[in-house]
Amino acid sequence: MFGFGKRTPIKEISPGVLHDMIADKEAIVVDVREPGEFAGGHIPGAINLPLSRFDPAQLPAAKGKLVVLNCAGGIRSAKALQKCGDVPVDTHLAGGMGAWNRAGLPIER
């Protein structure tokens, strides 16, 4: 009511666009899956901040880059975005790691 608690709508980015942004050093990826999932394979250069103990204050300083959250399928990253409040992070990977894998993009272990 009266505009309190309004949040910027969640934006989605496709795997191919994210891959290009990473290559151009325009994006930072934060993976909100649990450490075991992250160790099994993640987007190269991603930072692991599991949803189970996600704290927006721990997000990296963007310094002109887009911070993109990701998870296995997009649900946990959307939940993490809802926790961001006033932190200017509003984008996640559409389809998560499943979509990244289906696109045949590189994985780091």
Q: Which residues are catalytic?
A: 71
- Please identify which residue in the block is written with the tokens 């409040």: 85
User: 103: left (phi > 0), else alpha (psi -120 to 50), else beta?
Assistant: alpha
Element (H, E) at 19: helix 15-23
- Rounded distance between C-alpha atoms, residue 52 and residue 44, angstroms: 22
DSSP lists the bridge partners of residue 6 as: none
